[in-house]
Amino acid sequence: MKIDKFWLSVLVILIAGFAFTKLADNEFYFFTTYVVLQGLIMAVAWNILGGFTGYVNFGSAGFFAVGVYTTVALNKAFGLPLPVLLLAAGVICGLLGLAAGYLTLRLKGVYFAIATLATALVLETIVNNWKFVGGAAGTYVLQPKGSFIFDNYIELLFMLMLVLAVAATAISRYLSSSRIGQGLAAIRDDEVAAECMGVPTLRLKLISTTAMGALMGIAGAPFPFFVTFVDPVSAFALVIAVNAIAMPMIGGTAVWYGPVIGALLLGAIQETATVTISSELNLLIVGVMLVLFITLAPKGIVGLIQDYKKKKGANNG
Amino acid sequence: MIKKVMSPLRIIAILAMVAVVAFAVPAQSKNLKIGFSMALTGPLAGAGKAALIAMQIWKDDINKKGGLLGRKVDFVFYDDATSPSKVPGIYSKLLNVDKVDLVVSSYGTNEISPAMPIIMRKGLVFMSLFGLAVNDKFNYDRYFQIMPAGPIPKDDWSRGFFNLAMAQSPKPKSIALLAEDADFALSAVAGARRHAKRLGMKIVYDKTFPFGSPDVTSVMRAIKAANADLVYVGSYPGGSVGLVKAANELGLKAKMFGGGMVGLQFAGIQKNLGPMLNGIVNYDFWVPEPTLNFPGVKEFLKKYQAGAKGKGVDPFGHYLPPYAYAYLQVLGDAVTAVGSLDQKKIAAYIHKTTFTTVVGPVKFAKNGEWAKTRTLQVQFRDVKANNIGQFNKPGKRIVLYPSSVKSGSIKYPYKQ
């Protein structure tokens, strides 16, 4: 029986992650990895619509924040366990993605991008005025007592984020390599031509907005337990939206593993900069890297490596 | 195509390993290390930088006296960029990688709260800097907050404003409440609302306005039309400046105006507004009045003002810096008295002791807030135009409340 390399790697990553929680006694790694993995899920989610389909979403922070506030609201109202909160955030943000997609996908290019930005602003205004979840004043969310089989709650959150990141990557890989992915690529290359060839463009675009929304919501769902105080400023933070775009652009948008590479690279640099130089440097790093990659390597790291290999192959041949 | 290039899984594995190796463990030193995150960039950077100057003055002072427990004191700090999501990682680095001996908080509620789960899990004493009612939820018995809000922070904040109002004759009967739509301002006005209801006042206006609104003239116009005896405002620097200017332009006729306006404590804004400030009654924490001349405060401010030059922070440092110095004073005194870094003993000592600090005597309540509120209500008087130096001297912000540090009587009503 032949085992797919990808799934074998997934198994190894999950076992290694679990072993890490049992062997490492330095919480710092769990905290920083959590932030990197959160960025990874956001980047993978953004790429499903932005990379595969070619529709640029500037409203990522809005979907993330809806995931955050789904947890806040349901935790406050019913005290639901984290897995249920994750599921709820996924469903609600998936539906939000579907609705937003249905309403905005008639728009193209810059108009679609502006519409997504506006969606995030509308959502932020709603949260600002929703007193039950603390409104603009914010609210505290205490970590539940007990941490399953882990020594503390951050280990649980780390492991959960690892599982979610792997799952998000697997979904993205499936979407890119299946018929859906081919259809999305056709839309990205020429939507009118794709439509003429019988590609169900609206249905495929709605699938990608729904998947994007659901994954971003799931990325946001554990966030309240990570920070314990949530307000709209931190949930709708600019850096969330910027990273969600920058990571795939730097890694490469055309393939499923581009955002993963971009997220690991950019996330690691940002977290290192935070504790070595300055946190504020993070946005500068993102900006500079984004400018460099867009101008010098628009296909990202993956594109650079592919070009290098091609050149090497041509020289050898 | 994928198989022809470097395997994606291999690239991802290499990057993951780089990420783990990137965080090297620094060597441990003999010095006593105090760790913290601070808002050195981002929206709260102005205050965070000023706090850091004050903290470094304390460090220099304590090291001149031989340090703590015979060890020289060092700081290990990181910029949290006013971003709550950075705080948990920073404190875990401080505790697990840098192996600091003591920790104190960053500045502000949003930056304090995310550190609490880690601090609580480690059982550490946590001195915090200007967090509003953070411990209401956590109930952590080793948490101590230096802002003098009082044991019921959200209500004590505006207690003085209402005590003053109710002491006037005739007593005010109606009130307008206005809050800028963000954390502190909403909490301050919520407290004011409870006081107004408790005192049987008629609330004739009760609204919020969006955070950072550039033009608040229409808001002030509506408040003026409501014709309330008192106008209590919770706002941030931008909103505060706009509202004071609008109140002057429109000729607000309230008997008392002010309350919880952030920004009116800063010298730059005071100079900008000048005589428009006259008559406003607003909260403050320290002003250069003789009644607040606590031991060491003048020496501290002299050092701060020298250190603040050219740093782009508040030049006088009346508002936050003395408290940033004081929260380290409390911690340092407790460590010295206990004679060890035993967190349980340090917490017990802080609970039972009244500390002598540059912000006066400090005694903590069971919940870690000040045992008694000392949120000042000050009234701007005789402010002249274009003179920043006047705010570094007595007579411009008269302390009306509390009575223990009162330096003058209220001029009532707000505009004659």
Residues of B in Cβ contact (< 8 Å) with A33: 19
What's the pLDDT score for residue B7? 64
**How many domains in chain B?**
2
**A210, part of any domain:** yes
pLDDT digits (tens, 9 = 90+) for A18-31: 999 999 888 889 99
**A268, part of any domain:** no
Structural domain harbouring A81: 28-237
Do residues B106 and B161 both lie within one domain?
no
Helix (H, G, I), strand (E, B) or coil at B51: helix
**A267, part of any domain:** no
Judged by a CB distance cut-off of 8 A, whether residue B52 touches chain A is no
**A173, part of any domain:** yes
**For testing contact with chain A, the best of B2, B7, B15, B113 (most A CBs within 10 A):** B15
**B2, part of any domain:** no
**How many domains in chain A?**
1
More confident residue, A271 or B142: B142
**B142, part of any domain:** yes
ipTM: 0.76
Do residues B193 and B166 both lie within one domain?
yes
CA distance B237 to A131: 24
pLDDT-derived band at A101, boundaries 50, 70, 90:
confident
What's the pLDDT score for residue B13? 61
pLDDT digits (tens, 9 = 90+) for A298-310: 899 999 999 898 8
Q: What is the nearest CA distance from B273 to chain A, expressed in angstroms?
A: 28
Judged by a CB distance cut-off of 8 A, whether residue A177 touches chain B is no
**A132, part of any domain:** yes
**B37, part of any domain:** yes
Structural domain harbouring B64: 32-151+297-363
Do residues B70 and B147 both lie within one domain?
yes
Q: What is the nearest CA distance from A239 to chain B, expressed in angstroms?
A: 10
Do residues B167 and B277 both lie within one domain?
yes
Residues of B in Cβ contact (< 8 Å) with A279: 40-42, 78-81, 83, 86
**B317, part of any domain:** yes
Q: What is the nearest CA distance from B97 to chain A, expressed in angstroms?
A: 7
CB interface of A with B, residues 39-78, below 8 Å = none
**B371, part of any domain:** no
Contacts of residue A193, defined as CB under 8 A and 6 or more positions apart, other chains included, come to A186
Q: Per residue of chain B (416 residues), what is the pLDDT tens digit?
A: 444 445 666 666 665 555 555 544 444 458 999 999 999 988 788 899 999 999 999 999 999 999 999 999 999 999 988 888 889 889 988 998 899 999 999 998 888 988 998 999 899 999 999 998 899 889 999 999 999 999 999 899 999 999 999 999 889 999 999 999 887 888 899 999 999 999 999 999 999 998 888 789 999 999 999 999 999 999 988 899 999 999 999 999 999 999 999 999 999 999 999 999 999 999 999 999 999 999 999 999 999 999 999 988 999 999 999 999 999 999 999 999 999 999 999 999 999 999 999 999 999 999 999 999 999 999 999 999 999 999 999 999 999 999 999 999 999 988 64
What's the pLDDT score for residue B5? 47
**B59, part of any domain:** yes
Do residues B220 and B233 both lie within one domain?
yes
Do residues B234 and B193 both lie within one domain?
yes
What's the pLDDT score for residue B410? 95
CA distance B363 to B269: 32
Do residues B276 and B356 both lie within one domain?
no
pLDDT digits (tens, 9 = 90+) for A171-190: 999 999 899 989 999 999 99
Sheet containing strand B202-209, strands side by side: B202-209, B174-180, B230-235, B256-261, B281-284, B376-380, B397-401
Residues of A in Cβ contact (< 8 Å) with B97: 26, 28
Q: What is the CATH number of the domain that holds B107?
A: 3.40.50.2300
Do residues B233 and B380 both lie within one domain?
yes
With vertex at residue A63, the alpha carbon angle to CA A58 and CA A66, rounded to the nearest 5 degrees, is 145
**A207, part of any domain:** yes
Do residues B216 and B308 both lie within one domain?
no
Q: What is the nearest CA distance from A108 to chain B, expressed in angstroms?
A: 30
pTM above 0.90, yes or no: no
pLDDT-derived band at A151, boundaries 50, 70, 90:
confident
Predicted confidence (pLDDT) at residue A143 exceeds the cutoff of 80: yes
The average confidence (pLDDT) of chain A is 91
Do residues B76 and B223 both lie within one domain?
no
**B185, part of any domain:** yes
A168-182: burial string, b at 16+ Cβ within 10 Å, e else: bbebbbebbeeebbe
**A252, part of any domain:** no
Kindly state the helix (H) or strand (E) to which residue A234 belongs, with its residue range: helix A232-235
**A159, part of any domain:** yes
**B177, part of any domain:** yes
What's the pLDDT score for residue A50? 93
Judged by a CB distance cut-off of 8 A, whether residue B274 touches chain A is no
CB interface of B with A, residues 61-80, below 8 Å = 78-80
Torsional sign, CA B283, B288, B294, B298: positive
Query: Is residue B92 within 8 Å of residue B118, measured between CB atoms?
Result: yes
Do residues B280 and B307 both lie within one domain?
no
Q: What is the nearest CA distance from A277 to chain B, expressed in angstroms?
A: 8
